[in-house]
């Protein structure tokens, strides 16, 4: 609040416009090029610019001024047909306003802001359980969807706990504790068959089938696959793979000669048992790199005399595991039956890691009581230990990340323990590991934080950063829910979808670990492909399911805007959308999202899309509406620049029977003819892209929305990165060292009821 009050003071002070050049540099341009449309009477776009001719408006209308500057800088304003200042005048106006803003910001007392106590979101809960107990628990399958704010689902202000979620926590704690210790007896094995005749399997394609199956008890299971039919006597074996939730578990070489069943048996034994985690899972089984099936038509592919194909999946179990669970080894550092000392050792170690801080004696003393209660009910010590683990998992100290305020309003550095959690949940979406926690407890973390960031980014757990930050920034998570029309896009399947996600994740990780310049996001000459995705792109020489870095010789591809993941999530199920793609670039790449459309905007006539002209022709008619044209001048140009890519990212030269026109002229006068040239144009706006990704990453790192007082941190970070061409890993390091990340402010005390009443009556 104090920072806002100071901004208000500055707005009424003689600070702004002290230089005599305001009239010549700013007011004259506004009067000549802006006021005729943006005045009290017309207020085009909802903006009356007359008050902005007062230098005090630089303080009182800072947000509006920043939007004005953005539109002037990009050439969107003044629009075509209006008097336009020359570039010298534009540069002078931009420089003047930037200088005034900088002067004002320097007078505002630095404010790190504050993050409210926030619970772990579903991804953080999943990863924390994995690292704490060694148990794979899929919170996204059991817990309600987390609310999002500012584009991310780790924002403290929206991460509330409902009664339903609390009930889910209680149930999950019981199941997780049982899986971690495994002290409860398993039921007798049962069989569950998924078969084509019962329509309980889904055919992904000619070579793959899927089944959704709930594993009620963690343990070992026998899995058998029904493979009717046969191929020629000289047909070679084919590799068979089993996936669970998109992760390949195992492969075997299956004979294609006649047989009733092929056992999942890479060791030439009759059957093999796989350890499966409890929960709802999607199992997919399919042939890998099977060229033979591509020579068949649909009828032949499922003919017993022409082909060997997949028809069923059978699960048998659970069976007791032959080896000790990793989770037990992680927890039971001594024999819990040996006495109270061992129990206290096990539980104090668990609580320390679960609460992400040293624990007090009273906190530890309360946990062994659950073991005593269990024994009174005739249960074993290990079953009692499961109850104690349940208590830890539903504790607020585990479910919430809390940073306490010592002085209600004074900014302070976060403690080393708080910093450790900020780092780990930023980069790993999980709890601090032993190295971080030990450094924090010894108050030795802050001096080595840069080295720890580098170590953490090199750790495989940093894949969560790509999944959760990049997945939301680039909206790749939406691939799980998009459903392209199978008639219009027959190439779409689960394998292609997974390959799309993998390409973008590996690309992001490569940018991060290699500390690559941010410009490569826009036009990298390489990507990460496997055979499936390479064929989708028309790139030869890439074989097999493994992903590898591939140099891009064809200008059709380059950077994230040519990746199928981005192109698919920015399309409709039946066609591309220049509007959605243009908005995507403005919002996620350039940090300049367009306003919401007016409620009376007419919709496109979908029935005429394929008959009355190309999509571009239809859109140009749509924009004859002046209300539409005001917002689409920049957005549609960018969207049409990507029209060579269809709704799932394949290259094309026609829109149906109509030739494509992907050329465009940006509001600033720069033009392009194709996607490759558009990417070059976008690189000229690298400072805007760098600021955009800085704002988004800082939002994600802090778990809160950005405020006015965060502008100084953003400007400082981007200025430091600019001379080195914006290296990407350096951005992470700068965010970690920034004022908002390394400090926090307490909550400003609320006025008492008496003073509140006095304020209200003034």
- Count Cβ neighbours within 10 Å for each residue of 468-507 and write b for 16 or more, e otherwise: bbbbbbbbbeebeebebeeeebeebbbbbbbbbbbbbbbb
262: DSSP letter: E
Is 70 exceeded by the pLDDT of residue 117?
Answer: yes
Is 50 exceeded by the pLDDT of residue 14?
Answer: no
Tell me the whole-structure pTM to 2 decimals: 0.84
The predicted-structure confidence for 366-417, as pLDDT tens digits, reads as follows 999 999 999 999 999 999 999 999 999 999 999 999 998 876 678 899 999 9
**644-531-511 Cα angle (round to 5):** 70
Residue 270: band (very low, low, confident or very high) from pLDDT cuts 50, 70, 90: very low
* 691 SS3 class: helix
Is 70 exceeded by the pLDDT of residue 760?
Answer: no
> Cα separation of 34 and 53, whole Å?
11
Is 80 exceeded by the pLDDT of residue 246?
Answer: yes
Count of alpha carbons within 13 Å of 290, Cβ hemisphere only? 28
513 with 732: CB under 8 angstroms? no
CATH of segment(s) 190-319: 2.60.120.260
645: DSSP letter: B
Give the position of tokens 């624990």: 359
41: DSSP letter: T
Is 80 exceeded by the pLDDT of residue 756?
Answer: no
> Cα separation of 362 and 402, whole Å?
19
Kindly report the backbone phi and psi dihedral angles of residue 289, in degrees, each rounded to the nearest multiple of 5, phi listed first.
55, 45
The pLDDT assigned to 4 comes to 39
> Cα separation of 340 and 561, whole Å?
60
Task: Record the tokens describing residue 482, joined without a space.
Answer: 């998009």
Q: For residue 5, what are the contacts with CB-CB under 8 A and spacing of at least 6?
A: none
Which range has the top average pLDDT, 245-254, 304-313, 734-743? 734-743
Hey, where are the domains in the chain? Answer: 2-107, 190-319, 468-683
Is 60 exceeded by the pLDDT of residue 762?
Answer: no
Is 60 exceeded by the pLDDT of residue 262?
Answer: no
Residue 290: band (very low, low, confident or very high) from pLDDT cuts 50, 70, 90: confident
Which range has the top average pLDDT, 505-519, 532-546, 604-618, 622-636? 505-519
> Cα separation of 139 and 157, whole Å?
20
Count of alpha carbons within 13 Å of 61, Cβ hemisphere only? 17
586 with 592: CB under 8 angstroms? yes
The predicted-structure confidence for 35-93, as pLDDT tens digits, reads as follows 878 888 877 767 788 888 888 888 878 888 888 888 888 777 777 767 788 888 888 88
The pLDDT assigned to 491 comes to 93
The percent of residues in the chain predicted with pLDDT above 90, rounded, is 57
The predicted-structure confidence for 346-373, as pLDDT tens digits, reads as follows 999 999 999 999 999 999 999 999 999 9
Average pLDDT value for residue range 449-460: 97
Is 70 exceeded by the pLDDT of residue 663?
Answer: yes
């Amino acid at each position: 609040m104090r920072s806002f009050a100071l901004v208000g003071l500055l707005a009424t002070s003689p600070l702004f416009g002290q230089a005599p050049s305001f009239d010549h540099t700013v007011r004259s341009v506004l009067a000549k090029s802006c006021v005729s449309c943006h005045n009290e009477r017309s207020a085009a776009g909802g903006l009356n610019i007359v008050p902005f001719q007062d230098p005090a408006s630089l303080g009182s209308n800072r947000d509006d001024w920043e939007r004005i500057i953005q539109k002037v800088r990009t050439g969107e304003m003044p629009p075509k047909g209006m008097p336009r200042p020359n570039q010298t005048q534009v540069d002078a106006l931009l420089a003047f306003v930037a200088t005034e803003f900088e002067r004002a910001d320097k007078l505002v007392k630095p404010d790190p802001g504050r993050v409210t106590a926030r619970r772990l979101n579903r991804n953080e809960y999943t990863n924390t359980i994995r690292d704490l107990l060694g148990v794979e628990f899929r919170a996204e399958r059991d817990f309600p969807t987390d609310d999002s704010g500012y584009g991310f689902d780790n924002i403290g202000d929206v991460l509330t706990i409902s009664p339903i979620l609390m009930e889910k926590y209680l149930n999950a704690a019981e199941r997780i504790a049982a899986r971690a210790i495994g002290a409860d007896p398993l039921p007798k094995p049962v069989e569950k068959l998924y078969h084509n005749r019962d329509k309980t399997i889904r055919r992904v394609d000619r070579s793959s089938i899927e089944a959704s199956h709930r594993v009620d008890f963690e343990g070992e299971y026998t899995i058998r696959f029904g493979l009717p039919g046969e191929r020629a006597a000289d047909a070679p074996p084919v590799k068979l793979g089993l996936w669970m939730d998109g992760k390949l578990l195992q492969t075997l070489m299956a004979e294609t000669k006649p047989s009733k069943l092929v056992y999942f048996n890479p060791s030439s034994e009759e059957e093999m048992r796989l350890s499966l985690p409890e929960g709802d899972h999607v199992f997919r089984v399919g042939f890998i790199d099977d060229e033979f099936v591509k020579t068949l038509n649909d009828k032949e592919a499922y003919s017993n005399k022409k082909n060997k194909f997949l028809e069923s999946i059978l699960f048998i179990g659970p069976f007791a595991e032959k080896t000790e669970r990793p989770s037990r080894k992680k927890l039971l550092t001594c024999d819990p039956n040996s006495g109270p000392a061992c129990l206290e050792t096990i539980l104090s170690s668990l609580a320390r890691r679960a609460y992400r801080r040293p624990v007090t004696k009273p906190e530890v003393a309360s946990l062994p009581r659950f073991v005593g209660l269990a024994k009174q009910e005739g249960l074993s010590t290990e079953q009692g230990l499961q109850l104690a683990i349940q208590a830890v998992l539903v504790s607020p100290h585990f479910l919430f990340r809390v940073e306490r305020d010592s002085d209600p309003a004074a900014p302070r550095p976060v403690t080393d323990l708080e910093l450790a959690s900020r780092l780990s949940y930023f980069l790993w979406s999980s709890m601090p590991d032993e190295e971080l926690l030990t450094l924090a407890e010894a108050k030795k973390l802050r001096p080595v934080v840069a080295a720890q960031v580098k170590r953490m980014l090199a750790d495989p757990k940093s894949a969560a950063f790509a999944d959760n930050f990049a997945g939301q920034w680039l909206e790749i998570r939406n691939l799980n829910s998009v459903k392209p029309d199978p008639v219009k896009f027959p190439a779409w399947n689960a394998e292609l979808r997974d390959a799309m996600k993998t390409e973008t994740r590996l690309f992001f990780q490569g940018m991060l670990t290699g500390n690559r310049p941010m410009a490569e996001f826009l036009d990298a000459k390489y990507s990460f492909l496997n055979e499936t995705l390479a064929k989708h792109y028309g790139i030869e020489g890439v074989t097999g399911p493994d992903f590898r870095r591939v140099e891009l010789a064809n200008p059709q591809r380059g950077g994230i805007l040519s990746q199928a993941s981005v192109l698919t999530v920015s399309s409709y199920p039946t066609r591309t959308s220049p509007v959605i793609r243009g908005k995507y670039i403005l919002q996620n790449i350039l940090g300049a999202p367009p306003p919401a459309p007016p409620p009376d905007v007419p919709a496109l006539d979908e029935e005429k899309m394929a008959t009355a002209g190309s999509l571009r022709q239809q859109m140009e008619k749509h924009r004859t509406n002046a209300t539409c044209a005001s917002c689409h001048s920049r957005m549609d140009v960018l969207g049409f620049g990507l029209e060579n890519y269809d709704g799932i990212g394949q290259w094309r030269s026609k829109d149906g029977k109509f030739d494509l026109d992907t050329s465009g002229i940006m509001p600033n006068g720069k033009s392009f003819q194709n996607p490759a040239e558009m990417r070059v144009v976008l690189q000229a706006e690298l400072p805007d892209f760098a600021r955009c990704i800085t704002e988004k990453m800082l939002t994600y790192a802090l778990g809160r929305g950005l405020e006015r007082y965060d502008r100084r941190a953003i400007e400082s970070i981007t200025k430091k990165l600019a001379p080195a061409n914006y290296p990407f890993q350096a951005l992470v390091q700068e965010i970690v060292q920034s004022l908002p990340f390394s400090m926090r402010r307490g909550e400003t005390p609320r006025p008492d009821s008496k003073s509140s009443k006095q304020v209200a009556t003034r």
